[in-house]
Amino acid sequence: MEDAKLGYMTIITGATNTIIDLSEIQFTHLYWVFLLPAICAAADIITGWLQATINSCWDSTKMRKGLYRKGGEMLVVILAYIIHIAVHMPIEIVKGVVVYIVIMELVSVIENLDLAGVPMPTWITHRLKKIADGLIKEDKNDEET
């Protein structure tokens, strides 16, 4: 890929330096722009509840914050799409928002399953932790303060 193409058309995923060419991503239908992040968020919520039940560590404040964040993520997707339509913003920006949210949610699902004791191949957990370090670092810093 040429250096000139790097920009709003691509995402470089944190520590792994994996390049995702957003122009290559094609949604089969418009509803997937909204449904895919929602499904991934729902999977994160379900696996979070599962691991909290298994580990007997229910925390309503943490759950409430998580639900607010999921709502915020969906609002960002909706706003990105509205802005795309209103000002002819490149669709790759909307795709970038969706890809970011999906990756973030999938990493969280894997972490929840790991905490629940579901055996995971080490190559998956190692790779996803590298991605998580690059994508979710700010979220973990926010929780500590």
- Answer yes or no: is 88 within a domain: yes
Question: Would you state the pLDDT for residue 46?
Answer: 95
pTM: 0.73
Q: Is residue 95 part of a domain?
A: yes
| Any domain includes 45 | yes
- List the domain range (segments joined by +) for residue 61: 29-134
Asked if pLDDT for residue 6 goes beyond 50, the answer is: no
Average pLDDT, the chain: 80
Please tell me the total count of domains within the chain: 1
What is the per-residue pLDDT for 1?
Answer: 39
Dihedrals phi, psi of 59, to nearest 5 degrees: -140, 105
DSSP H or E segment with residue 78: helix 60-87
Q: Of residues 52 and 21, which shows the higher confidence score?
A: 52
Round to whole Å and give the CA distance between 72 and 75.
5
Let me know if residue 143 belongs to a domain: no
Q: Is the pLDDT of residue 108 over 70?
A: yes
Q: What angle do CA 50, 78, 106 make, to 5 degrees?
A: 30
In a domain, 140, yes or no: no
